[in-house]
Amino acid sequence: MSRPWNFSAGPAALPEVVLQEISSEMLDWHGKGISVMEMSHRSDEFYEICNEAEYNLRELLSISEDYSVLFMQGGGIGQNAILPMNLIAGKNNSNKADFIITGYWSNLSYKEAKRYGDIHIAASNNAYSKIDNKEQKPWTWIPDERNWNLRKDASYLHICSNETIDGVEFSKIPNLSNFGLLDTTLVMDASSNFLSVSLEMNKLGAVFATAQKNAGSAGVTIVIVRKDLIGKALPICPSVFDYLNVSVNHSCYNTPPTFSIYVSGLIFKWIKKSGGIKFMEINNKVKSSLIYDYIDSTSFYENYVCKSVRSRMNIPFFLKNHSLNKIFLEKAKLEGLIQLKGHKSVGGIRASLYNAMQLEGVQALVTYMKDFERLYG
């Protein structure tokens, strides 16, 4: 059986070799006679799985001992509440946080955070903007750092490194010291580009990523947080979501999503074996350029995102004749190119090219796009 090329935005394709490894260990993990799913989270075996996952993740992203690595539940949306509850009191109990809105996900994070403190939009792309003499639609660009209206007493500034739905990605992590805000903590929802690119941890106070995009299967959320920020959770924070509790108990304060942690651990090992984050970074650039270059070469397809901030992970695009979107998707499926439907809030097509998507799959998509244009253009 040949597997289709899966362009899902998440839960997304996993590397076939990792699926095979899971399959071969399903009934009997490392000769123990039982599945990972059947192990106590307090057992030596699971401790080894969890520890090794953390070790490999630290190595991949060069995470120092100044940071805790937590495996939590609740997903990215859970962190929209969990993170404010843990960090918003950070600066002199100000209960203030600033947000940069760049699309659907940062906007959702902002709305949730408002339940926990005084939240301020420091900049937003929900407006038209003229960039490089081109009129950009709302949600298709990133506000210039020089125009961010940051508050000195905010406990942190929230950004979303890659907007999964809008296809907008920060090309680099902003440096808050440029604003004279040396002690402001930058926090980042990296759910959809985590492990696709190296992370400048020294610029970040906290990063979270839900696993089912680029780091494993649904059920676990990875949180990397600077240790000195931990321990100031609001009294209303459930103990199971208190970063301090999770940290001192090595992610086993309560039963963690053991199987999902195991899958993430296999993904980390697979990335190491494949050449590390640097390889992924280069490969993702090559893969996404194949699609963008083709879209730019024709007027049959369109992508509205400002070129300098186009996502390497999620590429939303349209057929100029919108009535062809449906037939494009139907025929793609017959060619073994699946889950290309755009998010309902944007419409059109969306190709997600996470680490597990091979160059060959992207080439197959571009060939299909060309053939389709020849037939319907």
Ligand X SMILES: *Cc1c(COP(=O)(O)O)cnc(C)c1O
Give the count of beta carbons closer than 10 Å to the beta carbon of residue 202.
11
Residue 76 contacts ligand X per CB under 6 A: yes
What does the CA dihedral 187, 310, 119, 212 come to, rounded to 10 degrees?
Answer: -60
Task: Determine whether 285 is an active site residue.
Answer: no
Output 191 or 300, the one with its CB closest to ligand X.
191
Residue 210 contacts ligand X per CB under 6 A: yes
Output 15 or 167, the one with its CB closest to ligand X.
167
Taking CB under 6 A as the binding criterion, the range among 17-25, 71-79, 135-143, 288-296 that sits at the site for ligand X is 71-79
On the CB side of 376, how many CA atoms lie within 13 Å of its CA?
Answer: 20
Residue 216 contacts ligand X per CB under 6 A: no
Question: 96-101 and 118-124: which strand pairing?
Answer: parallel
Output 75 or 361, the one with its CB closest to ligand X.
75
Give the footprint of ligand X on residues 228-267 (CB under 6 A). none
Backbone torsions φ then ψ of 326, nearest 5 degrees: -65, -45
Residue 325 contacts ligand X per CB under 6 A: no
Task: Determine whether 213 is an active site residue.
Answer: yes
Cα separation, 64 vs 373, whole angstroms? 49
At closest approach, how far in Å is the CB of 300 from ligand X?
28
Taking CB under 6 A as the binding criterion, the range among 45-53, 186-194, 232-240, 345-353 that sits at the site for ligand X is 186-194
| Joined tokens for residue 248 | 């001192």
Per DSSP, the three-state class of 112 is helix
Tell me which of 184, 192, 288, 311 binds ligand X, using CB under 6 A. Answer: 192
**Length of the chain counted residue by residue:** 377
8 A C-beta contact, residue 284 and residue 196: yes
At closest approach, how far in Å is the CB of 189 from ligand X?
5
Give the footprint of ligand X on residues 3-22 (CB under 6 A). 10
Task: Determine whether 139 is an active site residue.
Answer: no
Cα separation, 243 vs 233, whole angstroms? 8
Task: Give the total of residues touching ligand X (CB under 6 A).
Answer: 12
Cα separation, 101 vs 159, whole angstroms? 7
Q: Which residues bind ligand X (CB under 6 A)?
A: 10, 75-77, 105, 160, 164, 189, 191-192, 210, 213
Residues with catalytic function: 105, 189, 213
